[in-house]
Structures are given as C-alpha cells and as structure tokens.
Amino acid sequence: MAILPLVYEPAAVLKKVAEPVVDFNDELQVLINDMFDTMYANNGCGLAAPQIGKSLSLSVIDTKGKGLEKIVIINPVIIETRGEHEMEAGCLSIPGSYAIIKRPAWVKVKAQDATGKFFEIEGEGLLGECLQHEIDHLNGKLFVDYLSSLKRKILTEKSRKIRKRLKRNN
Ligand code: NI
C-alpha cells in the first residue's frame, strides 16, 4: 500500500494525451492498488494516472468511496452518449475550486481491465460524470477547460492560492 503524491494544475502531464497501457503486468497491478489508496486517502471518487504524474491511459473510480465498487478503466474510449445534464465538478488536481459543467447525461465506455480484457461500462448520474471526468484527464483535459478563459483563470488562481496556504501551514 502506498499513497502517491498528487500533481496539480498547471503540471504539463495533466495537459497531454496519456500514453496507452501495453503491459498488463504485476507492476501495473501495484500501480492500480496504489492509485486506489491515493484516491481514498484524498476522499476522491476518481483518479487518473496523470494526476500522480504518470502519463498512462489508466483511471480508477469508486463513486461510493468505500472500496466496494472499484472500477478500473484502461485505454478507455467513450463509444456512445445520450442526453445532457449539468453537474458540479471538482478535481483533486485543482483543490478548492468547483464549477457547474454541462455534459452528456449517459455514456457507454469501452475499456480494458487490469488483465487487458475488453469490457463495456455504462453510467449516468455520478458514475456517468466520473467516467467522463476521468477519461477527460487521459485526454489532457481538465474540468476548467469547459469554462470561459476568465472563469478558468479565476478558479485556477484560487486553487493555487489555497495550495500555497496549505504548504505554508504544513
Ligand atoms: Ni479530476
């Protein structure tokens, strides 16, 4: 078990398309376990590998946050969407900042599991939001990229100030 250090906006790794996972080996399984530990330690419901500084197309999700519904999506692609809804988004890479984002209400995703096997997963509500948010991370996109440049600037600067303050207090 290991809790990995998070990387924060504006780190370059968060803004590029993640490399595909090709080796489904023991090392990958250790990374997946560490990513779940890191996500739970930070009270997140999703974590993408770029958020711990690794440019790999891999995300972990648990919308309940209790270790009972662990989802791993590797090399995921959204293959179908339906509807539209608005939901408040936040991100461990931009702590302290939130915004309402408009997205498809339902998505179907094709991905590989930790062994490399392909599967499909559908989700709406929080799971649908989480799937889209984590796949965005793998495409180098953050939730603030959906906002106007002014709003994006306000939110990212707010988060940078919060992080600076936390660092000083530690
Ligand atoms: Ni995020």
Q: How far is CA 47 from the centre of its chain?
A: 4
Residue 19 DSSP code: B
Does residue 67 have a pLDDT over 90?
Answer: no
pLDDT in tens, 113-124: 999 999 999 999
CA of 137 to the centre of ligand 1 (A): 7
Q: Report the catalytic residues.
A: 134
Average pLDDT over residues 72-81: 98
Give the residue among 30, 20, 37, 31 at the shortest CA–CA distance from 111. 20
Amino acid identity of 76?
P
Q: What pLDDT sits at residue 50? A: 98
How far is residue 117 from each of residues 26, 37, 107, measured CA to CA in Å?
15, 23, 20
CA of 29 to the centre of ligand 1 (A): 21
Say how many Å lie between the CA of residue 170 and the centre of ligand 1.
24
Would you say residue 170 has pLDDT above 70?
A: no
* Residue 43 DSSP one-character state: T
The torsion of the CA quartet 158, 166, 1, 46, rounded to 10 degrees, works out to: -20
The letter for the amino acid at 54 is K
Ligand 1 centroid – CA 10 distance (Å): 13
Q: Is 61 exposed, middle or buried (0-12, 13-18, 19+ CB in 10 A)?
A: buried
pTM for the full predicted model: 0.95
The two counts, helices (H) then strands (E), for the chain are 3, 7
How close is the Cα of 118 to the center of ligand 1, in Å? 24
CA of 26 to the centre of ligand 1 (A): 26
**Are the CB atoms for 111 and 76 separated by under 8 Å?**
yes
Integer Cα distance of 77 and 125 in angstroms: 18
Residue 71, phi then psi, degrees to nearest 5? -120, 130
pLDDT at site 169: 75
